[in-house]
Amino acid sequence: MVDRARVVAESRAVLARHARSFNLAGRFLGREQLDEAAVLYAFCRLVDDLVDEATDLESGTRALAEVEAELRGEAPPRPLIEVFAAQLHDHDVERAAALELIAGVRSDAGPVAIADDAELLRYCYRVAGTVGLMMCGVLGVRAPRARAFALDLGIAMQLTNVCRDVAEDADRGRVYLPRARLAQLGSDSEALLQRRTPRAAIATIVLDLLELADRHYASADAGMRFIPWPSRLAILVASRVYRAIGLVLRARDGDALAGRAVAPPWLKLACSSAALLRFGLTLLPAPAPRHDPALHRHIADLPGADDGTPRPRKSRFAGFPRLISSRPGGG
């Protein structure tokens, strides 16, 4: 029988070591939810590292196939995957989200060149939007309409990563800045890999992608009301602190090659304060938010995305009924 306590302890250590922004936000979660969030993060980190740390393409893809087989129940699972799979089941989260994550990471194996915004957004959905879907289970989010907003937060964060990591990704043979955007500025993926793309051109694309990220952050912000209020502040903090990376890049006029953009402690504190203010506003009654399906026009066929189909509105207000519930997180 798997030692869940040991898996959780190891997962908490992974979270503390590699995810400083979320580890800060996690202080606002209850212990059980933080444990489950840590297991989710540890699984995602495992999948990501299998490709990033592989000695060659073949070994990386083979290791991913092994994880996928374990997740599908086709091979005996290692302890982390057994605990993670049980967590998905307990929260009624479709395994498809985790499989889409694996598919996205698999696309990172070998040279990467993204064709256009549509391909970039589908990639962001797979490697980060799916994490939002899985976090819905951890946080006790039950409304089906909430999933689209959760996807937007993951996509926004991944777009932020793309903007921050241009140089680091190029060192790995990966270019996530869309070829269509590079072509408009007289460059291409190969030129970027060879450091021949003008910094001004890269900065232009970075600033444009940060604007795209901001539209997804704004949508995610509107959907925070779907998160049970005891957990809501943690996600607001995580969102604000991660979005601060974009503020640092903007302060550099989008120059992603001027060193890794890291939000200083004072900025994280300011963002956490802003999150606290926003949290207070979400406790006030307000109409349930409507998602903009235009944000998902390139991912509408993927699980959880907004395909534009009207959905029933069960309540006029989102968030407020949870305040007066007799039990934490209750509806």
The tally of CA atoms less than 13 A away on the side-chain side of residue 169 is 20
pLDDT at 162: 97
pLDDT at 312: 58
Residue 18 pLDDT grade (very low, low, confident, very high; cuts 50, 70, 90): confident
- Angle formed by the axes of helices 79-90 and 31-52, nearest 10°: 130
Query: pLDDT tens digit string along 214-228?
Result: 999 999 999 999 999
pLDDT(22) > 70: no
User: Quick check: 251 and 244 in contact, CB under 8 A?
Assistant: no
pLDDT at 328: 35
Reduced to 3 states (helix: H, G, I; strand: E, B; else coil), residue 112 is strand
- Which one, of 218, 220, 227, 225, lies nearest residue 136 by Cα? 227
pLDDT(140) > 50: yes
pTM to 2 decimals? 0.89
Query: pLDDT tens digit string along 246-270?
Result: 999 999 999 999 999 999 999 999 9
Tell me which amino acid residue 225 is. R
* Residue 218 or residue 20, greater confidence: 218
The 10 Å Cβ neighbour count of residue 181 is 19
Q: Looking at residues 67-96, what average pLDDT do you find? A: 95
- Which one, of 187, 109, 203, 120, lies nearest residue 159 by Cα? 120
pLDDT at 127: 96
- Angle formed by the axes of helices 95-106 and 130-139, nearest 10°: 150
pLDDT at 54: 82
Query: pLDDT tens digit string along 294-318?
Result: 999 999 999 999 999 876 555 444 4
pLDDT(1) > 60: yes
Structural domain boundaries in the chain: 1-110, 111-331
Q: Looking at residues 154-167, what average pLDDT do you find? A: 97
User: Quick check: 205 and 182 in contact, CB under 8 A?
Assistant: yes
pLDDT > 90: percent of the chain? 80
What CATH number is given for 111-331 in this structure?
1.10.600.10
Give the chain's mean pLDDT. Answer: 90
Q: Are strands 174-175 and 112-113 parallel, antiparallel or unpaired?
A: parallel
| Least trusted range by pLDDT, from 6-20, 193-207, 212-226 | 6-20
Based on DSSP, count helices (H) and strands (E) in the chain, helices before strands: 16, 2
Assigned token pair, 9: 């302890």
Reduced to 3 states (helix: H, G, I; strand: E, B; else coil), residue 17 is helix
Reduced to 3 states (helix: H, G, I; strand: E, B; else coil), residue 236 is helix
CA quadruple 12, 13, 16, 22: dihedral, nearest 10: -30
Q: Give dist(CA 130, CA 84) in Å, integer.
A: 14
